[in-house]
């Protein structure tokens, strides 16, 4: 089988958080005035120009992902992937050879995650992710972003606007 060479940028370390505290549906956070605007995701700025979005993969696994339009895939660190494996099955799709930012080729595995919720307002189904050995940060790349039918970023305040999203179920959005 011929390996595919794809560009993937990696920059720094991501985080995995256990998201076990759920907000009850009758709480103030679920009232209309606290509901997230559909398709609008607040971003956290780190450093001079790195912007991160909160992404939930399951009720128990969420991570902060660098928004990176130069990455072909959503990239997961090994620790994020291991936490995600504990929460349920993922489909293994194929192996690829990824070109790192410095041009170095790295073999990686592509999986399909059943659900990915960006922020609290955009749920995507069956998203391809790459697990990159040695990755130091999780990346929100084009395998998810292009599925939103278009997106834009604003910087004051830092916001990601996503075109076509499904409103997530309360179990993932509440974390």
pLDDT score of 38: 65
With pLDDT > 70 as the criterion, what percentage of the chain qualifies?
Answer: 73
Kindly tell me the sign of the dihedral angle through the C-alpha atoms of 33, 34, 35, 39.
Answer: positive
Q: Which residue has the higher pLDDT, 44 or 20?
A: 44
In the chain, the domains with their CATH numbers are 5-24+37-173 (2.40.70.10)
Residue 17 has pLDDT above 70, yes or no: no
pLDDT at 127: 93
pLDDT of residue 98: 83
Q: Name the most confidently modeled range: 25-34, 59-68, 158-167.
A: 59-68
Range from 6-10, 12-16, 64-68 carrying the lowest mean pLDDT: 12-16
Q: Structure pTM?
A: 0.73
Whether the per-residue pLDDT at 81 is higher than 50: the answer is: yes
């Amino acid at each position: 089988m011929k390996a595919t060479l794809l560009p993937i940028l990696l920059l720094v370390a991501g985080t995995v958080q256990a998201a076990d505290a759920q907000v009850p549906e009758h709480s103030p956070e679920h009232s209309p005035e606290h509901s997230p605007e559909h398709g609008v995701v607040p971003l956290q700025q780190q450093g001079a120009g790195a912007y991160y979005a909160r992404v939930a993969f399951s009720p128990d696994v969420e991570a902060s992902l660098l928004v990176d339009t130069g990455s072909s895939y959503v990239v997961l660190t090994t620790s994020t992937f291991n936490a995600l494996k504990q929460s349920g099955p993922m489909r293994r799709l194929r192996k690829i050879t990824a070109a790192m930012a410095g041009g170095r080729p790295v073999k990686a595995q592509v999986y399909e995650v059943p659900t990915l919720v960006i922020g609290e307002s955009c749920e995507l189904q069956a998203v391809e992710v790459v697990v990159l050995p040695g990755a130091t940060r999780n990346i929100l790349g084009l395998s998810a972003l292009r599925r939103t039918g278009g997106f834009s970023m604003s910087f004051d305040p830092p916001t990601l606007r996503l075109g076509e999203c499904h409103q997530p179920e309360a179990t993932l959005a509440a974390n």
